[in-house]
Amino acid sequence: MVQVLNLLVVLLGCGVMLQKSGYFVKFYVQWDNSMSPAIEEGDLVTIFPIADDSKIKTMKDVVAFRVNDTTTTIHRVFRIVKTRNSAYILTKGDNRPFHDDIQLRREDLIGRAMSTTRNLGYPVIWMYKQRL
C-alpha cells in the first residue's frame, strides 16, 4: 500500500512539473464503472489537452469534461452534431445504455484521455471515503 501511495505522489508530482512548464497534463481517478471495460473504477486516467488544430473523433476519443463545479466526467465521444451556426458534442459512457444529456462545446472539454493505470486511483477513493 505504501508503494502505491508513493507512486501516486510521484505521478502527481510529474503532473505538477509538467503543468508549471506549460504542458497541462492532468490526472483523474475514475469513480465508477460508466466506462467499463475500457476504464474501470479506481483507474488513474492521464488527460492531455486537445490541440486547437486536432480533430475530435466520434467513437474513438475519450474526453474529460466538467459537469458542474465539483464533478469531472470521462466519457467517449458518441456523436458530433453540426448545425448551421455551431456544433456540439454528445458523449456516452461505454457501460451506459444512453448518451449523456449534456451538449458540450469544444471549449467545455478539459482534454483527451491518453492512458490509464489500472487500480492506481483506489487509494484516492479510499481516502475520500474515510473523510465522509
**What is the DSSP annotation of the chain?**
-HHHHHHHHHHHHHHHHHHHTT---EEEE--SSTTTTTS-TT-EEEEEPPPTTPPP-TTT-EEEEESSSS-EEEEEEEEEEE-SS-EEEEEE-TT-SS--SPPBPGGGEEEEEEEEETTTTHHHHHHHHHH-
Mean pLDDT, residues 37-46 taken together = 95
Region 51-69: mean pLDDT is 86
pLDDT value of residue 10:
58
- Over residues 120-132, the mean pLDDT reads 85
* Residues 50/51/53/58 CA torsion (nearest 10 deg): -20
Q: Return the exposure string of 21-56: e unless at least 16 CB atoms fall within 10 Å of the residue's CB, then b.
A: eeeebbbbbbbeebbeeebbbbbbbbbbebeeeeeb
41 or 68, higher pLDDT = 41
* pLDDT range class, residue 67, cuts 50, 70, 90: confident
* pLDDT at 20 (0 to 100): 45
For residue 64, the model assigns a pLDDT of: 96
In terms of pTM, does the model score above 0.75?
yes
Q: How confident is the model over 98-110, as a mean pLDDT?
A: 93
CA angle, residues 121, 9, 4, in degrees to nearest 5: 55
- Taking the C-alpha atoms of residue 53 and residue 35, their distance in angstroms, rounded to an integer, is 27
21-39 pLDDT per residue, tens:
456 789 999 999 999 999 9
Q: What pLDDT score was predicted for residue 14? A: 54
pLDDT class for 116, splitting at 50, 70, 90? very high
